[in-house]
C-alpha cells in the first residue's frame, strides 16, 4: 500500500500543465541558459531510435503482438518533471541533472511515449523545462521569470525539431505527441511548422493532451473527427464526471476535446466496459474497464475509475492519467491513423 501511495504521488506531480510564454531573455540561471543543447548528441534525447530507452518498453501482455514500424516518426514532447523544491532560484532545468533526466525517462517516456512505439520511431528531446513553480508565480517579477522559462523551454523544443527535420526525418510522415507542459510547446510547434504550411501534408496526426486547445488558434489544422482522420489534432483533459475546474469556466472558447475511446465526434459517451486497457502504477500490467470517456464542453469526463486501490484516488482532476487511462486505445488509434495515412496517400 505504501508503494502504491508513493507511485500515485510521483505520477501526480510529474504531469503538470500551464499556458503562457513571451519572448524575454532570462537573466538568471546562467549555467543552464548558457548550455544550449547540441541535438546531434544522443545525450540530449530522452528517446531516440539510435539508442535503447524506456520508450522502447512494452507491457508484458502485449509483447508478443508487437510489430514496430519505421515508416513514421513520432516527435514526443514530455511533461514537467522538474520538481526539485531545494532550488528556489532555479526557474529552468539543467540538462546536466542526471537524476532529473533519469526521472523523466522512467515516468513520462516510459508511461506515455511508449504508447506510440508501434506507430513509428520515437524522438523525444530533453529540454530546459520550466520549473513547476512557474505555474504559480507569486508576484510580477516572478511572473516575468516564469514566462521567460517557458520561452526558453520552447526554444529548445523548436531547436530539437529543426535538427530532427534536417538530419533524421528524410521525408517521412510525422506524428506529434505531447502532454502537459509538453503540450504547451507542441501547440506552438504545430502553429509554427504545420498550420497552413507545406509540412502539414506530412502530419499524420497530433496528440496534444492535457492542455486546452483553442481551435481558433489555427488556420488550417482542425480537430480529428473520425478514428482514422489524418492531418488533424486530438486533444483531451480528463476530470471526474461533474467536475469543471474554475479556470475552465473562465475560458472564452471551447477547447478541442477528442473522445479517446470512440475517436468520433458523434460518439461522445463511451462506457468503461469498452475500455480495453489502462496502464496504471505497474507498467507491466494492463487493466481493462478502468475509465469511461465522456465529452463535455471542452473537457473529458470519466466516472470514478475502477482499479485496485482506486479508493485512494480521491482527486477530481485526472490529469495524471490522461494517457494511461486510455493506453491501449491511444496505441491502437495511432496505428490506425498511420495505416490510413498511407492508404489515402497511395490512392492520390
pLDDT score of 90? 84
pLDDT score of 249? 95
CA gap 15, 321 in Å, rounded: 9
Which domain range does residue 275 map to? 2-346
How do the pLDDT tens digits run along the chain, 348 residues long?
333 333 333 333 333 333 332 333 343 444 455 678 999 999 999 999 999 999 999 999 999 888 888 999 999 999 999 988 765 558 899 899 999 999 999 999 999 999 999 999 999 999 999 998 887 888 998 899 899 999 999 999 999 999 999 999 999 999 999 999 999 999 999 999 999 999 999 999 999 999 999 999 999 999 999 999 999 999 999 999 999 999 999 999 999 999 999 999 999 999 999 999 999 989 999 999 999 999 999 999 999 999 988 877 889 999 999 999 999 999 999 999 999 999 998 865
φ, ψ of residue 304 to 5 degrees: the values are -50, 130
pLDDT score of 19? 32
- Identify the CA nearest to 134 among candidates 253, 256, 28: 28
CA gap 160, 223 in Å, rounded: 25
pLDDT score of 34? 63
Question: By the 8 A CB rule, do 257 and 295 touch?
Answer: yes
> What is the number of domains present in the chain?
1
Contacts of 339 (CB under 8 A, 6+ apart): 228
Question: By the 8 A CB rule, do 265 and 223 touch?
Answer: yes
**Partners of 179 in the beta sheet?**
209
CA gap 57, 53 in Å, rounded: 8
- Identify the CA nearest to 340 among candidates 119, 178, 187: 119
pLDDT score of 348? 57
- Identify the CA nearest to 207 among candidates 249, 179, 247: 179
3-state secondary structure of 182: helix
Task: Check: pTM over 0.85? Answer yes or no.
Answer: yes
Amino acid at each position: 500500500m505504501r508503494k502504491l501511495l508513493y507511485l500515485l504521488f510521483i505520477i501526480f506531480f510529474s504531469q503538470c500543465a500551464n499556458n503562457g510564454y513571451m519572448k524575454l531573455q532570462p537573466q538568471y540561471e546562467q549555467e543552464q541558459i548558457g548550455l544550449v543543447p547540441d541535438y546531434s548528441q544522443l545525450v540530449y534525447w530522452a528517446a531516440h531510435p539510435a539508442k535503447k530507452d524506456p520508450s522502447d518498453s512494452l507491457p508484458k501482455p502485449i509483447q508478443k503482438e508487437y510489430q514496430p514500424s519505421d515508416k513514421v516518426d513520432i516527435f514526443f514532447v514530455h511533461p514537467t518533471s522538474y520538481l526539485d523544491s531545494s532550488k528556489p532560484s532555479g526557474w529552468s532545468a539543467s540538462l546536466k541533472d542526471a537524476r532529473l533526466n533519469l526521472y523523466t525517462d522512467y515516468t513520462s517516456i516510459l508511461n506515455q511515449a511508449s504508447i506510440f512505439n508501434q506507430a513509428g520511431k520515437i524522438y523525444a528531446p530533453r529540454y530546459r523545462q520550466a520549473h513547476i513553480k512557474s505555474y504559480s508565480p507569486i508576484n510580477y517579477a516572478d511572473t516575468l521569470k516564469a514566462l521567460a522559462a517557458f520561452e526558453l523551454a520552447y526554444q529548445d523544443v523548436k531547436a530539437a525539431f529543426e535538427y530532427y527535420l534536417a538530419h533524421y526525418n528524410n521525408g517521412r510522415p510525422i506524428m506529434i505527441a505531447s502532454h502537459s507542459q509538453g503540450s504547451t510547446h507542441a501547440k506552438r510547434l504545430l502553429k509554427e511548422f504545420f498550420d497552413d504550411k507545406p509540412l502539414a501534408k506530412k502530419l499524420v496526426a497530433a496528440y496534444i493532451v492535457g492542455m486546452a486547445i483553442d481551435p481558433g488558434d489555427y488556420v488550417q489544422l482542425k480537430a480529428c473527427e473520425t478514428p482514422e482522420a489524418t492531418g488533424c489534432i486530438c486533444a483531451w483533459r480528463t476530470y471526474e464526471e461533474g467536475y469543471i475546474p474554475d479556470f475552465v469556466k473562465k475560458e472564452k472558447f471551447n477547447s478541442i476535446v477528442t473522445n479517446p475511446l470512440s475517436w468520433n465526434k458523434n460518439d461522445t459517451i463511451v462506457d468503461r466496459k469498452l475500455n480495453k486497457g489502462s496502464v496504471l502504477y505497474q507498467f507491466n500490467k494492463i487493466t481493462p474497464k478502468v475509465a469511461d470517456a465522456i465529452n463535455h464542453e471542452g473537457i473529458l469526463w470519466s466516472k470514478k475509475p475502477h482499479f485496485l486501490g482506486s479508493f485512494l484516488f480521491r482527486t477530481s482532476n485526472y490529469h495524471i492519467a490522461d494517457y494511461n487511462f486510455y493506453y491501449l486505445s491511444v496505441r491502437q488509434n495511432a496505428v490506425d491513423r498511420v495505416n490510413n495515412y498511407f492508404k489515402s496517400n497511395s490512392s492520390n
